[in-house]
């Protein structure tokens, strides 16, 4: 969470509150969705939970690489 809050000064002033609010709502929501997904997936076997826990962060990382500004543009 501190990393995302630290990125908010790079946004427009009127959107900073929206980003911080979304962050503080998104963290518990993500925990809830992760718990629900794992409770359903564990019925198929424990490995499926580990696959989801490995694939989703990779997808998020690839999305962030494309979405965040590169160092040369700062």
Tell me, what's the pLDDT at 58? Answer: 96
pTM of the predicted structure, to 2 decimals: 0.59
Give residue 14's pLDDT band: very low, low, confident or very high (50, 70, 90).
confident
| Cα gap 25→32, rounded to integer Å | 11
**Tens digits of residue pLDDT in 18-49:** 888 888 898 899 899 988 998 999 998 989 88
């Amino acid at each position: 969470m501190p990393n995302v809050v630290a990125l908010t000064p790079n946004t427009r002033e009127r959107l900073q509150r929206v980003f911080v609010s979304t962050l503080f709502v998104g963290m518990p929501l993500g925990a809830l969705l992760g718990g629900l997904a794992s409770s359903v997936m564990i019925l198929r076997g424990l490995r499926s939970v580990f696959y989801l826990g490995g694939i989703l962060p990779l997808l998020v990382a690839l999305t962030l690489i494309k979405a965040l500004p590169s160092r040369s543009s700062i």
